[in-house]
């Protein structure tokens, strides 16, 4: 019995001083997914169809629709990309740009709306990542004096179809009201 105890102590000491270190250090580190190409599916020119809920967070069911284009291109051979967006409908025109930046340290995307009319970059960005063909991006804002959580959801449906939805939540994401649906087709 005493010999078994001595052998166990020696074995544990050998593991502790081995070049590979402790058992915990020998375990494989978690592989961090490189999401830097997650938005590659959207690069190019698209037809855009938008349904927008103009009266938000009041129980409205009246949607307005628009048609136009959404063109996405990479910036300076990087993974950052810029969207030029223009749609028209009975409620008027919407012209915008969106800047998407990938952070290789956090493995997350930040999506900024560019307000061309005001000459500003809307802050804060929505931040998130993809899991498979679905990306979710969040931030906190104020809508008409009320604090809300904002979610953008991007879906890579096929090489010829994509979808982006914007939703607001007044209860930290327990429930969501979708208020913007943009369907893209090649």
pLDDT digits (tens, 9 = 90+) for 90-119: 999 999 999 999 999 999 999 999 988 788
- Residue whose C-alpha is closest to residue 170's, from 133, 143, 130: 143
Q: What does the pLDDT average to over 149-153?
A: 98
Measured between alpha carbons, how far apart are the two ends of the chain, in Å? 75
Report how far residue 177's alpha carbon sits from residue 141's, in angstroms, rounded to the nearest whole number: 15
Q: What is the pTM of this model?
A: 0.81
Topology of the domain covering 40-185 = Lipocalin (2.40.128)
Spatial distance between the Cα atoms of 113 and 98, rounded to a whole number of angstroms = 5
Q: Considering the chain, what is the average pLDDT of its residues?
A: 87
Best CA proximity match to 63, nearest among 38, 35, 91, 88:
91
**Spans of all domains in the chain:** 40-185
The answer, yes or no, to whether residue 15 has pLDDT greater than 80, is no
């Amino acid at each position: 019995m005493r010999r078994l105890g001595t052998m166990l102590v020696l074995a544990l000491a050998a593991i502790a001083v081995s070049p590979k270190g402790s058992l915990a250090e020998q375990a494989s580190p978690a592989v961090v997914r490189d999401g830097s190409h997650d938005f590659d599916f959207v690069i190019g020119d698209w037809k855009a169809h938008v349904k927008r809920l103009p009266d938000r967070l009041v129980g409205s069911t009246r949607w307005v629709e628009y048609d136009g284009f959404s063109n996405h291109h990479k910036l300076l051979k990087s993974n950052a990309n810029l969207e030029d967006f223009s749609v028209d409908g009975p409620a008027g025109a919407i012209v915008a740009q969106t800047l998407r930046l990938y952070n290789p340290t956090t493995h997350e995307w930040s999506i900024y709306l560019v307000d061309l009319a005001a000459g500003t970059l809307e802050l804060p960005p929505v931040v998130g990542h993809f899991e498979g063909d679905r990306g979710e991006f969040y931030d906190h804002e104020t809508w008409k004096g009320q604090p809300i959580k904002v979610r953008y959801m991007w879906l890579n449906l096929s090489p010829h179809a994509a979808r982006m939805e914007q939703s607001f939540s007044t209860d930290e994401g327990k429930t969501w009201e979708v208020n913007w649906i943009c369907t893209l087709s090649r």
